[in-house]
Structure 1
Amino acid sequence: MTRTVGIVGAGAAGVGAAYALRDTDFGVTILEKSRGVCGRAATRRRGDCLYDHGANYLKDADDRTVELVEELGDDGLVAFDDPVWTFDADGEIAESDRDTETKYSWEDGLTQLAKRLLARTDAAVYRETCVERIQRGSGREHVDEDASGDRWYLVDTDGESYGPFDAVVLTPPAPQTAGLLAETKWHSEHLPALREVVGAVRYRPIRSVILHYPFEVDVPYYALVNTDKEHDVGWASREECKRGHVPDDESLFVVQMAPDWSEEHYDDPLDEAAGVVATKVAKLLDDDRLTEFDWTDDQGWRYAQPNGGANEEILRRGEDDGLYFAGDWVAGEGRVHSALWNGVEAGERISEAF
């Protein structure tokens, strides 16, 4: 009998879990609430510009990450090593003393990571499908009333049921996963502890503001990062450092504002917020031209960075019944590679368990 796995979320963790099951007999279904894949490793296009406005790149964190990137092929791969410099609360910029790291994206954007991984699987991906609850039941006809069976179902906001699944992997940010657990029908002694530990994970919000300029900014670094967490700007990077993202003689900044600023100004109109952000960037780089951008864009990430990881020992208690968790909040680090490998490891455990 073919085993089945349902994965909630097509971000790096969900795609990683599917990729880990690619050479097995498992049938994999992914339900993703948005139109795209790769979650907060997101890419947009405007005119001749393409920009990674969430996670900015995949880093060469370890040998397995580098090997995976190489396996995905060098067609369209963008590998760059322009440095990241630092600045403090006073806006003093300093050259970083860290070793230069290779950073990866693609000419078609960072979402290529998920697209290329999924292309190597037989996973069925349902986009614009928002899962409202999960349920342990004995058959499709019991989805609304019986939680005592041995297989899982996923129910979306339209009431559509998907399943049955032998295992389910939950990969949304912890607050959204906690919401799913709150609606879960599953007779298990572990459910209260799981709800508590997932619900305890807190996130830092980030508002990303995109600033495009019809001229090139000549600086010796790819990005600036605030190290003392006391500046309104948390990060400012230049997409023109990535081949194929920005036309010659133009600049496009991805500015990620600090969590406190982002929380306070999360819903400010873009035309108002962009002017404020541009002024701060101009002051930081000591370049008055940067107050005058010719177009802007933004994205608010309510759950951008987890403050820490959940108790993995407690999270693993659901695995005997086929309930798995994966994501940066499980790994305890808000990095693309951390979420990806956490998902891969969850997929490997599923493969070994059945």
Structure 2
Amino acid sequence: MDIGVIGAGAASAAAAYAIHRDAPDAHCTVLEKSGGVCGRAATRRRDGTYYDYGANYLKDDDERIVSLVTERLESDGLVSVDGPIHVFDEDGTVGEGRQTDERKLTYRTGITQLAKRLFAETDATVNRHTRITGISRDGDQWLLTDADGDRWGPYDRLLCTPPAPQTARLVREADWDDDRRASIAEAAEAVEYRTILTAVLGYEFALEVPYYALVNTDKRHEIGWIAREECKPGHVPDGESVLIVQANDRWSVERYDDDPTDTVAELARLTADVVGDARLETPAWTDYQGWRYAQPERGVDRDAVESAERDGLYCLGDWVAGEGRLHAALRNGLETGERVARSLEAGD
């Protein structure tokens, strides 16, 4: 049996892992538009520094996912993030946050290791720089077309993992049952997303503060999140600091198409004001990423999504899970992969 998978994010990797474990005769072909894996759980490297510029870490909220990461996958290089999360308000006033025993997990070489290690446990073929633009149904199988006009398939099952708006466009234009595709497209289009602009600010000095991160709890400040990558073992050389600064949704939407240089400079200024350190206005180096579809505000209508599974089309990801968190995407991927494997075993 051949399985087509659009996207190589965390949910895709978890689904491929579950399919390989439960249906080892099935083969997954993963088609990813970018050059990397793990989607918004993304890592970059610069001169010996690793930084997670999308999802910052994996929460230990889900026992099944924690067990997968710590016991079933290769755990070498898995680390806990050091330090508490403090809060700040609309005026930039910082205070201590709620103390919890929550573990925050990543890897010494970055959070993208999650997908890399999951895929490494399978025989899946991952094709990067392959953007799927068309879906069609041929009898009981699925065919795909990429941006270069190349055809992929046929596939006995199709897993569709891009964010809901992108999935909606693909499904609405698919050559498939009119009522079924319209139902799924409408459900996916109804999922609203938060947009986030991210600045990465590197400094040649160590920042002396008592927290790992700051979160804006009233959601009225221009910045929503500031995190220190040096609190992750192995990420930042001694004596240096790297800040991940994420703007709030409204500010990000208003400035999404602005010059990134101006956006980063303004976020550096705002960060210096919140942290209370004027040196932060002039980082030694910077990076930038715009996430148009950063986090779903709510989940999709599950009835529409589940109805498509009768034809072998499975939608998955955090927007299907109903929670814009990495552990939720991973769990949804596992559960979806297990349903795919059961359907193959039953011959559905």
TM-score by length of 2: 0.96
The within-5 A match list for 1:281-300 is 281-300=271-290
Map 1:15-94 onto structure 2 (within 5 A).
15-23=13-21, 24=23, 25-70=25-70, 71-94=72-95
Which AA in structure 2 matches 1:345? E
- The structural deviation recorded for 1:349 is 0.6
Specify the code of the residue in structure 2 equivalent to 1:264: E
Distance in 2 (alpha carbons) for counterparts of 1:335 and 1:250: 29
The CA distance in 1 between the partners of 2:235 and 2:309, in whole Å, is 42
**Matched residue, 2:8:** 10
Identity across the alignment (%): 52
Secondary structure, counterpart of 2:20 in structure 1: coil
C-alpha spacing 1:62/1:187, structure 2 compared with 1 (3 Å) = closer
1:48 is displaced (CA, Å) by 2.1
Residue 241 of structure 2 corresponds to 251
CA–CA separation in structure 2 for the residues paired with 1:220 and 1:293: 20
**Which shifted more, 17-26 or 253-262?**
17-26
Question: Residue 174 of structure 1 aligns with which residue?
Answer: 164
CA offsets per residue over residues 301-345 of structure 1, 9 Å max, x none? 000011111011111001111011001111111111111111111
Deviations 1:213-250 (A, max 9, x none): 11111111100011111010000000000111111011
Structure 1 counterpart of 2:221, one-letter code = H
Question: Could you say which residue in structure 1 is the equivalent of 2:113?
Answer: 112
Quote the Cα distance in structure 2 between the aligned partners of 1:285 and 1:330: 36
State how far apart, in whole Å, the 1-side matches of 2:339 and 2:20 are. Answer: 14
CA distance in 2, matches of 1:100, 1:244: 22
Kindly indicate whether the alpha-carbon contact (under 8 Å) linking 1:81 and 1:100 is maintained by their aligned counterparts in 2: no
How far residue 15 of structure 1 moved from its aligned partner, in angstroms, is 0.9
Task: Report the CA distance between 1:98 and its aligned residue.
Answer: 3.9
**Could you report, residue by residue, the CA deviation over 1:123-177 in whole angstroms, capped at 9, with x for unpaired residues?**
011110000011111xxxxxxxxxxx11111111111111111110110000100
CA–CA distance in 2 between the matches of 1:122 and 1:74?
20
Match of residue 132 from structure 1: 133
Deviates more, 1:268-277 or 1:6-15: 268-277
What is the CA-CA distance between 1:73 and the residue it aligns to?
2.6
> Which amino acid in the other structure matches residue 17 of structure 1?
A
Offset at 1:47?
Answer: 1.2
Q: What runs of 5+ residues in structure 1 fail to find an aligned partner?
A: 138-148
SS of corresponding position for 1:310 = coil
CA distance in 2 between counterparts of 1:65 and 1:342 reads: 10
Q: Is the 8 A contact 1:270 1:297 kept in 2?
A: no
Gaps of 5+ in 2: none
Tell me the secondary structure at the aligned position of residue 22 of structure 1.
Answer: helix
Q: Does 1:273 align with 2:267?
A: no
For the aligned residue pairs, the C-alpha RMSD in angstroms reads 1.1
Displacement of 1:188 after TM fit?
A: 5.1
